Amino acid sequence: MSITNAMTIDVEDYFQVSAFEDVIDRSEWENIPSRIPENIEKILLLLERHNTRATFFTLGWIAVSFPQVIADIVAAGHEIACHGWSHVRLSDLTPEEFLADISSSRKILQDVSGQEILGYRAPSFSVTSETLWAYEKLREAGYLYSSSIFPIKHDLYGIPRAPRKPFVVEQTGIHEIPLTTVRMFGRNYPFSGGGWFRLMPYSLFRYGLKKVNNEEGMPGVFYIHPWELDPQQPRQLNLSTKTTFRHYLNLEKTNHRLECLLQDFHWDTVQSVFLGQKKYPTLAISELSGS
């Protein structure tokens, strides 16, 4: 029996990504035509074709603006989880502002979905060694798990020293499910989705995830955004070269690659794959802080 991995969708629109926050102010969001309803519909059909359930980490802003989209996701049997209210990174919030953000998001997502919201993913994986206070606040707000740490070295996020496998954060009971990496040549490489999935050949990605499944017996966590399956999205012009490359690379190939991934591996929600009966090691915050 092959291992079941966790399929996750970060539900934000193409103009709500952190990379655009200097060129599109949040106050403009409601005036920009959304691509969310049609892109989510496309994803729901894709998942249905492959008989797959997924976890949708969703912005509170999206739940308020598109309650029918949330209802459609729930009706198809998927898990709703939280991705913050309006995609503000933890480094831009005080702990008290963060608590308000994740509490109000959790409430609206619960009201609209009718599900108990247990999961959280930080915008742009912004749980880093500077924002570890997040776990205490997640506990206060009623969450059970987070999938927010990328155990890699990266210019924008990551805790390279963090465990690659799930763990429980001491004194909070919060389960952290790190994004999937492959350990090679003494360092961790991201094999979890997003821009990396669009950058590397699919055969290499499949090799990495199989290695994690077969050699370590560990389920992987895959993530993708609705806008990554939408090559027709409006183009934003005044971006840096690096941001333009990262956002638009291989968008026209992602649909097919995702089809292959759904075909080649087994998938389910984060809750089904990682929570329930399983016991994970407990880790003190001090073991994650520092470089």
Give the binding site for Zn ion (CB under 5 A).
10, 12, 123
Residue 94 has a CB neighbour count (10 Å cut-off) of 10
Q: Is 18 or 52 the residue whose CB approaches Zn ion more closely?
A: 18
Q: Is 67 or 195 the residue whose CB approaches Zn ion more closely?
A: 195
Buried/exposed 76-85: b ≥16 CB within 10 Å, e otherwise: bebbbbbbbb
Min CB(203)–Zn ion separation in Å: 27
HEC secondary structure over the chain: CCCEEEEEEEECCCCCCHHHCCCCCHHHHHHCCCCHHHHHHHHHHHHHHCCCCCEEEECHHHHHHCHHHHHHHHHCCCEEEECCCCCCCHHHCCHHHHHHHHHHHHHHHHHHHCCCCCEECCHHHCCCCCCCCHHHHHHHCCCCEECCCCCCCCCCCCCCCCCCCCEEECCCCEEECCCCEEEECCEEEECCEHHHHHHCCHHHHHHHHHHHHHHHCCCCEEEECHHHHCCCCCCCCCCCHHHHHHHHCCHHHHHHHHHHHHHHCEEECHHHHHCCCCCCCEECHHHCCCC
Min CB(123)–Zn ion separation in Å: 5
Min CB(97)–Zn ion separation in Å: 18
Min CB(57)–Zn ion separation in Å: 8
Min CB(223)–Zn ion separation in Å: 9
Q: Is 60 or 213 the residue whose CB approaches Zn ion more closely?
A: 60
Q: Is 56 or 145 the residue whose CB approaches Zn ion more closely?
A: 56
Q: Is 84 or 166 the residue whose CB approaches Zn ion more closely?
A: 84
Min CB(145)–Zn ion separation in Å: 17
Min CB(220)–Zn ion separation in Å: 19
Buried/exposed 14-28: b ≥16 CB within 10 Å, e otherwise: bbbbbbbbeeeeeee
Min CB(83)–Zn ion separation in Å: 6
Name the residue with the smallest CB distance to Zn ion: 10
Cα distance between residue 124 and residue 101, in whole Å:
15
Q: Is 10 or 228 the residue whose CB approaches Zn ion more closely?
A: 10
Q: Is 120 or 191 the residue whose CB approaches Zn ion more closely?
A: 120
Q: Is 12 or 268 the residue whose CB approaches Zn ion more closely?
A: 12
